[in-house]
Structure 1
């Protein structure tokens, strides 16, 4: 597929793949988590460890990205990844049901299935982003990133609503059936969405990869030797660590410090997601409109979003001191809004940097950054919760414990902004040579 050749319909089709991924993931992480804790009475650490495991195994994303680089096609990896995810999702539901009868056997099966869930998400997600990076024009990347991620949120929401209706009255058999139907529907949607989208594969690229395919070690060394790729990997890890640290502590904070009910704290998550949506739309639309005239706009959105996220988290820390009159809902919306701005800008920048490296390098770089994101997500949520407990165990009050963690998150976001300032924007990759060397050397330019 020629760089920049994918139109809005094609971008929407790839967004449907993200929706399919989200529809399965919400069942395997949220629904099974609730069933294990509530219906089976297990400690929350059990599903927490399984979800952490599915993030951890995604450290292998560079391997899957390299595989699609060498093969020259992304769609087989996308379809195969979704198929594996759907199959593993059903297996995880069966494992959960088995835990009620034999916990040890059910747990072993669950560990196996959550490893496969991580493999499926990593294989499909890495190749999907690689395909977007090589086929979407520079001007459309911010809007494309927004559309694709909003489609994932849409898939999560639709799957949660529809599956929720069919899960009642609840039984383990019904859980397995709903998971299976969701997986089949997601796989069929993926097959239709990507069908023929790579029909115009480059003959030059195929020739280059067949003559002298680089090994994984060579490709990884090449990526890590690139100062921009290395710096962006560090940025992704640091920013995503800060982004995810509040995942498990926001609702308990609302309940313990502000005295909110479970329904009210659930509403906080809705307000935050509303902010994320608004921030994504602003960054996506603004980035697409201004990208051609201001090549550094994505960098400015990324840095600004990180700094504003840090400010919002600093305000959250301050709210723990004076909860009585604090506009918590507005604060949470600002946090989500800031997160949405930086997330879309960072994803669009990721596509630009990967695309500029040349087609034979895109998958591995996307895998490298995807691995950094997955590991940071796995560590962030866990670290936030553990730090609150440790600070409380050291004798601090509940408000002080939560406020300290929010302040730490804000400082990490500030550090991420500092790293982002050092990343050179990409003006756009309009042409690529046989192995991508010409694009790699010609498109990474300073935009100051």
Structure 2
């Protein structure tokens, strides 16, 4: 099998970009759910921020399923392929689910309009429960497709081209965020008038949520078609790939907990991700309240940090990581992000929108460095035999942290408002916490010992296999 591995072609740049189409689609979706829907629910339909944030965050809490989907794709191929079938099924499902989600949003909006404000009633409870269910299903579909896609990346890459692959693919995701921001601005042109009627709002957004997910499904198929067959190294890497008795979920979890390094890295990922995403739900309202921006203007805010991130993702993968190494690069990125949050608070005091946008560009640059570094470390900290399970676990850390961040960003903001009357200070509480969190993340990453992880993993696989053999 080793000879076969030697003969497998390496992925070229074109293939890296083609794979990136999948992440580009996810980027476009992120703008739709967290950008557009968030703003419409809070700003136009007058649904309270904490309810909106928690409803939208529901999908992130389905993340534990990632470990299971990852393990499932290790163990049970669909139509002869370990990853591709799952990527397609998941994408097809989230396409259908998003169209449903937007209908539920309108029902909640109707309730607010009917009651002349938000009131808790039986219909309100039931629509919220239904909304949570639909977003939970969206989370499952997303977990299924993105975990198996990420594992496919582990399968088709080698340690020397991983930084580049990550750089390109995450750049494409950022292109998606920028494209999503710009295209939703164009598609929602009729809403430029701040007093656009709810009817116009409805038809614009319902259309947006039908066409875009359909396009994203198309991108997913286009990105992954034929890739696994040609490039996957899974069967030659894993000692267990062709054995009848695949590793079970229980054994995969044993591999996962075999090294204390896994726990340290998991903690680092959680703290770093919370610190990166606490502002996700409050950035656009911050632009609106402190800098008096309109909806299309605030939906472009994501594009500013998106462009910054785009500039640094590939640069990190191609230049910084080869020179500084993966850990130092990541720590550098985290430090820069920490400084940016302080600058975001300071720009709020000036009320100067251009300064704010400039700071977001810097924030994007720093995020790109931290993210590329962390993702490359993540792919190195996997074990071939249980690649799906490990990728699922790292995905779980990130998604769980994002869920906590999005849900608590709104809550922290409300606490900030209770303490301070000035909006800048209220929002500042959120940003200051993020700045401190990044410093803590740097400390945890410094504690991880990668050599020891590899050694522990080898021993654990041997133990699992002997356990199997001893029966």
TM-score range, shorter chain: 0.7 to 0.9
Question: Which of 157, 163, 173 pairs up with 1:152?
Answer: 173
Match of 1:406 among 407, 417, 431: 431
**Residues 345 and 127 of structure 1: CA distance in aligned 2, closer, same or farther (over 3 Å):** same
Deviation at 1:373, TM superposition (A): 0.8
Partner of residue 112 from structure 1, selected from 112, 117, 133: 133
Q: Which residue of 1 aligns with 2:21?
A: 16
Residue in structure 1 matched with residue 60 of structure 2 by the alignment = 55
**Does 2:259 match 1:234?**
no
Q: How is 1:247-396 mapped onto 2 (pairs within 5 angstroms)?
A: 247-253=280-286, 259=291, 261-262=293-294, 269-287=302-320, 290=322, 297-317=325-345, 328-354=356-382, 357-358=383-384, 360-394=385-419
CA shift for structure 1 position 386:
2.5
Partner Cα distance (1:185, 1:37) in 2:
27
Describe the superposition over 1:303-355 as per-residue Cα deviations: whole angstroms up to 9, x where unpaired.
1111122223344456667879x95554433322211110111111111222x
Give, in angstroms, the shift of residue 161 of structure 1: 4.3
Query: SS of the residue aligned with 1:420?
Result: helix
Do 2:10 and 2:157's aligned partners in 1 also have CA atoms closer than 8 Å? yes
d(CA) in 1 for partners of 2:131, 2:164: 38
- Given the alignment of the two structures, is residue 64 of structure 1 paired with residue 77 of structure 2, yes or no? no
Instruction: Work out the CA distance in 2 between the residues paired with 1:166 and 1:261.
Output: 19
8 Å Cα contact 1:62-1:363 kept in structure 2: yes
Deviation at 1:124, TM superposition (A): 1.0
Residue 21 of structure 1 contacts residue 82 of structure 1 at CA under 8 Å; is this kept in 2?
Answer: no
Q: 2:161 is paired with a residue of what secondary structure? A: helix
Q: Does the residue aligned with 1:139 lie in a helix, a strand or coil?
A: coil
Q: Which residue of 1 aligns with 2:38?
A: 33
- On the 8 A contact 2:255/2:461 being kept in 1, the answer is no
Could you tell me how far apart the structure 2 residues matched to 1:30 and 1:406 are? 19
Which ranges of structure 1 fall in alignment gaps of 5 or more residues?
439-448
1:82–1:124 contact (8 Å) kept in structure 2 = yes
Note closer, same or farther for the CA distance 1:394–1:436 as it changes in structure 2 (3 Å cut).
Answer: same
CA–CA separation in structure 1 for the residues paired with 2:430 and 2:179:
33
Tell me the equivalent position of 1:142. 163
Task: Give the one of 401, 422, 426 matched to 2:447.
Answer: 422
- The 3-state SS of whatever aligns with 2:229 is coil
Q: Say if 1:81 and 1:124, in contact at 8 Å, map to a contact too.
A: yes
TM-aligned CA distance change 1:394 to 1:157, over 3 Å = closer
CA deviation digits over 1:211-259, x for unaligned, max 9? 22222122112212223322221111010011012223445555666x5
Q: Is the 8 A contact 2:419 2:426 kept in 1?
A: no
Counterpart contact for 1:388–1:405, Cα < 8 Å: yes
Counterpart of 1:443 in structure 2 is none
- 1:188: which partner in 2? 218
Q: Which residue of 2 aligns with 1:84?
A: 93
Shift of 1:154: 2.4
Check 1:4–1:226 CA distance in 2 against 1; reply closer, same or farther (3 A cut).
farther
Match for residue 115 of structure 2? Answer: none
Q: TM-score, normalised by structure 1?
A: 0.82
How much has 1:175 moved relative to structure 2?
4.1
Cα distance in 2 for partners of 1:207, 1:155 equals 37
User: Structure 1 residues 40 and 393, CA, compared in 2 at 3 Å: closer, same or farther?
Assistant: closer
Superposition pairs of residues 146-225 of structure 1, within 5 angstroms: 146-162=167-183, 165-166=186-187, 170=200, 172=202, 175-200=205-230, 203=235, 205=238, 208=241, 210-225=243-258
Instruction: Note closer, same or farther for the CA distance 1:163–1:241 as it changes in structure 2 (3 Å cut).
Output: closer
Rate the CA distance shift 1:237–1:51 in 2: closer, same or farther, 3 A. same
TM-score norm. by structure 2 comes to 0.78
CA distance in 2, matches of 1:173, 1:327: 35
Could you tell which deviates more after superposition, 23-32 or 223-232? 23-32
- How far residue 153 of structure 1 moved from its aligned partner, in angstroms, is 2.5
Q: 2:145 aligns with which of 124, 140, 153?
A: 124
Is the 2:177–2:302 contact (alpha carbons within 8 Å) kept by the matching residues of 1?
Answer: no
Is contact 1:302-1:341 (8 Å) kept? yes
Of 120-129 and 25-34, deviating more is 25-34
Evaluate the alpha carbon distance shift between residue 219 and residue 332 of structure 1 in structure 2; reply closer, same or farther with a 3 A threshold.
same
- Across the aligned residues of Structure 1 and Structure 2, the Cα RMSD in angstroms comes to 3.6
Deviations 1:101-144 (A, max 9, x none): 67556444422221111111111111111111221122322221
Q: How many residues align?
A: 425
